[in-house]
């Protein structure tokens, strides 16, 4: 099976665009009638340590630290149900590399370029592509970190059912000659709430609950003089800004720009909750490089093949995180058919019969219509014993189980195909 995967990844007829379209189109079919969060984030894969093995001119280039980098960048847009919190897939994925000989920002006069010629256009491009795929959604909210705070985006991507929540990058000037953050600072807090923050290894922060105060105001920001093709964008744009903050100076402080109407504490609280879901895409990108995936350790010799492998891994990782979340849900997680196909569910039913033990403790007691039921099976295939006292299955166990299920399903499909000929 490994040889067939190697041939598949190195087949020039299998394109990145085709893999991305298949993944995103399948996901968008789940979004009809829903309010969907489109959570965007960028990561990069570095293969500098493999530079002597990887073929030249094969889809890898300069990264942010040019002296010790050879790789590619990826900008992903993860879909999350705004009400239920279920992961639904992706609405857009973009991979690219910079030429190794590309001059630095100063030589390219980067600040003078129109937004369409800058890498930061990825935020707007992802939003436009997502809007096309999510035309059946009831509402779409783009959730982005500070890099997405771009006037061209703030003033153009929203309409009646399209909104954004973007973390503010700078203390922007407003049309009344004040500053956005200064106007926010004089507002009285509406109240406070507790929020659970996941572990953040980059900031050396373990999982914890924090108490945040919340306040908001409305601002109108002018179009900057630096904007190229300024006629394409309005001379100003009105938005709301919500601040969620800890009292101490070193604590959490999120200033969030949004087009959602904000009138009450509950309105502002929802915006903060939506922004807090960014940890899902951050975790996904981090796990691509760790925990059994280790995409940067790939031994493939073609950068193009590695990039296609990354897209395939992203799909597998999505399922693993969906299952990981489902097992910790008292209700059993999202509906099974949102994650597995009808044929895969049939195969899982057969495997379940083989894995269930004779004792009550080794029975799969989960609702067979929910994802937790399938998670129990996948985890058992990965070596988990099935006892509640053992604790929930982890990422590596689920990865091992999903790999094994893929092999079983492949053989099961072959047997069915042969039997029907």
Tens digits of residue pLDDT in 157-196: 999 899 999 999 999 999 999 999 999 999 999 999 998 8
pLDDT (mean) for 72-87: 97
16-295: CATH homologous superfamily?
Transposase Inhibitor Protein From Tn5; Chain A, domain 1 (3.90.350.10)
| Res 2: pLDDT | 65
| Res 304: pLDDT | 94
| Res 102: pLDDT | 80
| 415 Cα distance to chain centroid | 36
How crowded is residue 83: how many other Cβ atoms within 10 Å of its Cβ? Answer: 10
252-279 confidence digits (pLDDT tens): 999 999 999 999 999 999 999 999 999 9
Q: Which CATH architecture has domain 303-419?
A: Orthogonal Bundle (1.10)
Residue 200, pLDDT above cutoff 70 = no
Residue of higher predicted confidence among 247 and 274:
274
pLDDT (mean) for 290-301: 90
Residue 151, pLDDT above cutoff 80 = yes
53-67 confidence digits (pLDDT tens): 888 888 999 998 767
327-346 confidence digits (pLDDT tens): 988 888 899 999 999 999 99
Domain map of the chain by residue range?
16-295, 303-419
d(CA 309, CA 29): 24
**pLDDT category, 199, cuts 50, 70, 90?**
low
Residue 238, pLDDT above cutoff 60 = yes
pLDDT (mean) for 115-133: 95
Residue 291, pLDDT above cutoff 80 = no
364-382 confidence digits (pLDDT tens): 989 999 999 999 999 999 9
SS (H, E, C) the chain: CHHHHHHHHCCCCCCHHHHHHHHHHHHHCCCCCCEEEEEEEEEEEECHHHCCCCCCCCCCEECCCHHHCCEEEEEEEEEEECCCCCEEEEEEEEEECECCCCCCHHHHCHHHCCHHHCCCHHHHHHHHHHHHHCCCCCEEEEEECHHHCCHHHHCCCCECCEEEEEECCCCCECCCCCEHHHHHHCCCCCEEEEEEECCECCCCECCEEEEEEEEEEEEEEECCCCCCCHHHCCCEEEEEEEEEECCCCCCCEEEEEECCCCCCHHHHHHHHHHHHCHHHHHHHHHHHCCCCCCHHHCCCCCHHHHHHHHHHHHHHHHHHHHHHHHHCCCCCCCEHHHCCCHHHHHHHHHHHHHHCCCCHHHCCCCCCCEHHHHHHHHHHHCCCCCCHHHCCCCHHHHHHHHHHHHHHHHHHHHHHHHHCC
| Res 361: pLDDT | 80
Residue 1, pLDDT above cutoff 60 = no
Residue 212, pLDDT above cutoff 90 = yes
Residue 23, pLDDT above cutoff 90 = yes
**pLDDT category, 249, cuts 50, 70, 90?**
confident
Proportion of the chain above pLDDT 70, given as a percent = 95
| Res 377: pLDDT | 96
d(CA 74, CA 347): 33
| Res 320: pLDDT | 96
Residue of higher predicted confidence among 75 and 9:
75
| Res 358: pLDDT | 81
Residue of higher predicted confidence among 200 and 340:
340
Average pLDDT score over the chain: 91
354-365 confidence digits (pLDDT tens): 998 888 888 898
Residue 103, pLDDT above cutoff 80 = no
Residue 323, pLDDT above cutoff 60 = yes
């Amino acid at each position: 099976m490994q040889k067939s995967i190697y041939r598949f990844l190195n087949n020039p007829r299998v394109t990145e665009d085709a893999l991305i379209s298949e993944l995103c189109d399948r996901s968008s079919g789940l979004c009809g009638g829903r309010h969907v969060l489109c959570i965007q984030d960028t990561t990069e894969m570095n293969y500098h340590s493999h530079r002597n093995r990887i073929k030249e001119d094969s889809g890898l280039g300069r990264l942010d630290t040019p002296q010790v980098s050879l790789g590619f960048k990826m900008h992903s847009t993860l879909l999350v149900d705004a009400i239920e919190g279920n992961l639904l897939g992706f609405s857009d994925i973009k991979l690219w590399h910079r030429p190794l000989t590309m001059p630095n920002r100063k030589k390219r006069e980067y600040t003078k370029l129109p937004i369409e010629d800058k890498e930061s256009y990825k935020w707007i491009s992802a939003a436009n592509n997502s809007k096309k795929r999510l035309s059946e959604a009831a509402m779409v909210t783009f959730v982005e970190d500070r890099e997405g705070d771009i006037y061209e985006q703030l003033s153009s991507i929203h309409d009646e059912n399209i909104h954004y929540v973007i973390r503010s990058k700078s203390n922007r000037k407003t049309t009344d000659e004040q500053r956005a953050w200064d106007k926010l600072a004089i507002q009285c807090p509406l109240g406070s709430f507790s929020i659970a923050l996941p572990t953040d290894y980059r900031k050396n922060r373990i999982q914890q609950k924090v108490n945040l105060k919340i306040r908001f105001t409305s601002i109108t920001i002018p179009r900057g003089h630096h904007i190229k093709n300024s006629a394409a964008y309005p001379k100003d744009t009105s938005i709301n800004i919500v601040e969620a903050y800890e009292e101490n100076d070193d604590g959490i402080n999120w200033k969030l720009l949004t087009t959602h109407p904000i009138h009450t504490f509950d309105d502002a609280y929802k915006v903060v909750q939506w922004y807090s879901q960014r940890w899902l895409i951050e975790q996904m990108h981090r796990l691509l490089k760790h925990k059994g995936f280790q995409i940067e350790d790939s031994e493939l010799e073609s950068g193009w093949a590695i990039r296609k492998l990354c897209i395939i891994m992203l799909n597998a990782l999505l399922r693993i995180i969906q299952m990981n979340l489902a097992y910790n849900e008292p209700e059993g997680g999202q509906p099974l058919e949102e994650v597995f196909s009808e044929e895969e569910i049939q195969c899982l039913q057969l495997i379940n019969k083989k894995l269930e033990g004779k004792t009550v403790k080794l029975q799969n007691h989960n609702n067979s219509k929910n994802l937790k039921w399938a998670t129990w099976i996948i985890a058992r295939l990965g070596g988990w014993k099935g006892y509640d006292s053992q604790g929930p299955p982890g990422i590596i166990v689920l990865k091992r189980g999903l790999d094994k299920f893929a092999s079983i399903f492949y053989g099961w499909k072959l047997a069915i195909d042969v039997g029907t000929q």
